[in-house]
């Protein structure tokens, strides 16, 4: 499969996921209330390839990710429409958890750099004593 075919297939799948029905979900009838889920959709995608010429010397790759987070429900009754956001605390917790791996890496790199500085200072010869 060529790189352009891989990209086309991936983008077709992403466009299927990122349709309006994903953000504003299918209505759910619950007694005399109709609930409509609302979500935030984030999509990332990357593709690349190389063909340096010659026999069997090409490569291609794609990668992507989708994050769907429910953010609210719209409740529709006979004469009233209400938006019920999902708890801000829940949303903040989800956001914190999504950045936690990156923060842990940065803290580890920072601490590793500090340790290397201390080790370098410890291995330097001592200056003259006064």
Of 62, 66, 72, whose CA–CA distance to 25 is shortest?
Answer: 72
User: Would you state the structure tokens that stand for residue 63, as one six-digit string?
Assistant: 């990668």
Q: Is 67 in contact with 25 (CB distance < 8 Å)?
A: no
Query: How high is the pLDDT of residue 54?
Result: 66
Cα-Cα end-to-end distance for the chain:
74
Query: How high is the pLDDT of residue 88?
Result: 66
> The whole model's pTM is what?
0.48
Question: pLDDT of the chain along its 130 residues, tens only?
Answer: 677 787 788 778 777 777 777 788 888 888 899 998 888 888 887 777 777 776 777 777 777 778 888 888 888 988 888 888 887 666 666 666 666 666 667 777 777 776 677 777 777 665 555 5
DSSP letter for each residue of 102-117: HHHHHHHHHHHHHHHH
């Amino acid at each position: 499969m060529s790189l352009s075919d891989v990209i086309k297939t991936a983008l077709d799948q992403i466009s299927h996921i990122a349709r309006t029905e994903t953000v504003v979900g299918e209505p759910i009838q619950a007694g005399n209330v109709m609930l409509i889920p609302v979500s935030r959709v984030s999509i990332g995608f990357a593709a690349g390839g190389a063909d340096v010429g010659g026999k069997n010397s090409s490569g291609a790759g794609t990668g992507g990710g989708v994050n769907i987070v429910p953010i609210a429900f719209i409740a529709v009754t006979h004469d009233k429409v209400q938006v019920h956001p999902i708890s801000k605390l829940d949303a903040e917790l989800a956001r914190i958890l999504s950045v936690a791996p990156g923060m842990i890496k940065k803290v580890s790199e920072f601490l590793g750099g500090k340790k290397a500085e201390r080790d370098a200072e410890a291995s330097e010869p001592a200056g003259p004593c006064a």
